Structure 1
């Protein structure tokens, strides 16, 4: 099976797992960590172009699990995190990983945030090395072994 088919199937499987937990994923910490993860994956290579930003924003709005929250609130939070990364990528990344780390005490939320990062990273059919690296760092921030997600 070609690698992009495996990636697409893996992202679909993770989205299904997220949908199954939708009713448990309503906390503010999960909302914030999810938007932080989306921004981190979108800017994984150190930049985020307008087309990529739009694509990620569309994915956020269409994600069933994230429909637990108002779309305009998610958009604002995503843009705030992207702004931090654009102002100073390394410093912004530290701040964002701290935000993601707030879900560490709730393993189901922590795993869901990681899964959202993988779904967002794989949405274009190319979960590249820089995207994998930031999701791996997020795994460490929440105390999950990255190998659990083949990272």
Structure 2
């Protein structure tokens, strides 16, 4: 199976797993960590171009699990995290990872945040090395072995 097909299958599997947990994923910590993860993946290469920002915002708006939350609120949070990363990537990354770390108290939410990062990163069919690296960092922040997600 080609890498592209495996990536699509993996992202689809992750989304199915997330959908099954939708009713357990309604806390503010999950909401914030998810948006921080989306911004981190969007800015994984150190910048967020407008097309990528729009693509991720569109994925957020249509993700079934994230529909537990108000779309405008999610967009605002995503944009705020992107702005932090664009202003000073290294300092912003520390702040964003701290937000992601708040989901560590609930293992189901922590794993769901990682799955959202993988779904967002793989949505364009290219879960590149920078995206994988930031999701791996988030795993460490959440005290989840990256190997659990083949990272």
Same fold (TM over 0.5): yes
User: For this structure pair, what is the TM-score category when the shorter chain's length is used for normalisation?
Assistant: over 0.9
Deviations 1:88-134 (A, max 9, x none): 00000000000000011100000000000000000000000000000
Number of residue pairs aligned between Structure 1 and Structure 2: 151
For 2:65 and 2:135, how far apart are their aligned partners in 1?
19
For 2:104 and 2:24, how far apart are their aligned partners in 1?
15
Q: What is the match of residue 125 of structure 2?
A: 125
For 1:135 and 1:5, how far apart are their aligned partners in 2?
20
Q: What is the match of residue 80 of structure 2?
A: 80
Does residue 85 of structure 2 align to residue 91 of structure 1? no
Unaligned runs of 5+ in 2: none
Deviation at 1:55?
0.2
Q: What is the match of residue 134 of structure 1?
A: 134
Q: What is the match of residue 150 of structure 1?
A: 150
Unaligned runs of 5+ in 1: none
For 2:71 and 2:103, how far apart are their aligned partners in 1?
21
Deviation at 1:2?
0.5
Structure 2 length-normalised TM: 1.00
Runs of 4+ in structure 1 over 6 Å off? none
Matches for 1:1-151 after TM superposition, within 5 Å:
1-151=1-151
Matched position secondary structure for 2:125 = coil
Structure 1 length-normalised TM: 1.00
For 2:86 and 2:92, how far apart are their aligned partners in 1?
8
For 1:71 and 1:104, how far apart are their aligned partners in 2?
24
Aligned residues: CA RMSD: 0.3
